[in-house]
Amino acid sequence: MSKSAFSDNFQPYIDTLIELLEAQGEHKSADIVSSATFAVSETDYDNWNGGTSTWTLRLSIPPKSYADLLSEIESHTEIIRKTFEPVWTQVSDDWLQITISPRITSVKPKQTANGEIPRTVRLNILDGLRIDNVKWFGESDDIEFLGRIYDLDQLPSFDERFHTAKEDISQHRYNNDDWEDDWIYEDRRFQLLSGPTDTFLKFLCQIVDPLTRQDSRIVRKLVGDFNDQLTPCGWTLVEDERIAGRPRYTARQETLKTTTHITRAKQAADTLSATWMIREIQRIEAAIDSDPALAIGEAKALLESCCKTILDNEGVEITKKMTLPQMAKEVCKLLKLIPDDIPKEAKGSDSIKMLLSNLGSIPRYVAEIRGLYGSGHGKPGNYRGLEPRHARLAVQSAVTFIDFVTETYKKKKLKEN
């Protein structure tokens, strides 16, 4: 195999390696390869015996993953090398070595005052799509996808035979098929790397739109990957509406103040591995200003999901008749958060008991507010709802409960292990 083939078309060999590792039950090693960015290059040449090259496959994984696996790196490197050997020997007589190293990362950018998304962040997102081999146009085609964002008949052609971008794309993507799938990322007509933030965000929202792709699992992963990069810049993709039962996303700009409690809620959901909580958090983000009643209703649902997850994990029976306050009380008992559990001789015991008592009351109060003002119940014609500030109070109170309970549960599990 030529040197250029190694550097230009190595992805199929990586995919084969992952499949082989999975088939052998080496799932952790497969995860390492799947999460890695890779580079393969010729690192040595020996003139002996007609000349033999040594190639190095470098697998770079996230620093945290590397730190967690530090004591196992050597064994996983050997597993990956042995598994890859029969693939390598089919295509080359050269030597191959494999290294696993921490990926070099930059500090996440601080939120900009004007909400602009820096070029570095845009590159990270687009490179992530390349690494995961995600086709931005999904189940549609280039013209159909781009036509929802741009006027392709007004953008110029870069091919002198044509007048418009639409003709250009049709020729090179359909007739000649001589443009790579990621051609758009650096095409200056579409301004993804250096154009308006609004255009870039519309492009991301279209990538996860139901008209583009329908696999909800892939959509959730993409939204999560995008938000990991966007949130430090003050932006989040949130569910705006549902089309045929599938979410349609919009970009929402957040201030540092408003994202704090949402961030804590997401961290709690991650701790509990509760994907349903993530969905409720996204609904809260989308509704807190535009639909306070819905946000309050989702705050109650978020509390229920948290309590049910913990109780279910601990094998506590949840009956159909149990109310949210009853579930919250069971969680507090399980985690020994009942005020009576605080010994009288402890310093500040009265204050601690009062705080815990008020904490335990939050689910009851949120449930009551939801019944009176939230979504889920019919309202009389003269009904006047609460304002966004009231919704924020309910949501932040709910997150205070969830955050403290989840942190306590996490500490409990660490002690048990």
Highest-confidence segment of 40-44, 299-303, 375-379: 299-303
Residue 231 has pLDDT above 80, yes or no: yes
Mapping DSSP to helix (H, G, I), strand (E, B) and coil, where does residue 60 land?
A: strand
What is the arithmetic mean of pLDDT over 135-146? 95
Residue 3 has pLDDT above 50, yes or no: no
- The backbone torsions φ and ψ at residue 363, rounded to the nearest 5 degrees and listed phi first, read -60, -40
Per-residue pLDDT band for 62 (boundaries 50, 70, 90) equals: confident
**Lowest mean pLDDT across 10-24, 95-109, 122-136:** 95-109
Q: In this prediction, what percent of the chain has a pLDDT beyond 90? A: 25
Residue 258 has pLDDT above 50, yes or no: no
Instruction: Name the pTM for this structure.
Output: 0.43
Burial level of 1, CB count in 10 A (0-12/13-18/19+)? Answer: middle
Q: Chain-centre distance of CA 306, in angstroms?
A: 20
- Greater confidence, 31 or 406? 406
pLDDT digits (tens, 9 = 90+) for 64-94: 778 878 888 899 999 999 999 998 888 788 8
Looking up tokens 């705006």 gives: 240
Q: What mean pLDDT value characterizes the chain?
A: 81
Residue 275 has pLDDT above 70, yes or no: no
DSSP class of residue 56? E
Q: Residue 202 to residues 143, 199, 356: CA-CA distances in angstroms?
A: 15, 5, 45
Per-residue pLDDT band for 1 (boundaries 50, 70, 90) equals: very low
Per-residue pLDDT band for 141 (boundaries 50, 70, 90) equals: very high
What is the arithmetic mean of pLDDT over 122-146? 94
Q: What is the pLDDT of residue 172?
A: 94
Q: How far apart are the first and last CA of the chain?
A: 50
Q: Which two tokens stand for residue 287?
A: 């509704």
Residue 158 has pLDDT above 50, yes or no: yes
Provide the b/e sequence for 92-126 (b: ≥16 CB within 10 Å). Answer: eebebebebeeeeeeeeeebeeebebeeebbebbb
What is the arithmetic mean of pLDDT over 41-55? 72
pLDDT digits (tens, 9 = 90+) for 364-411: 888 888 777 654 444 444 445 577 888 888 888 888 888 888 888 888
Q: What is the pLDDT of residue 208?
A: 95
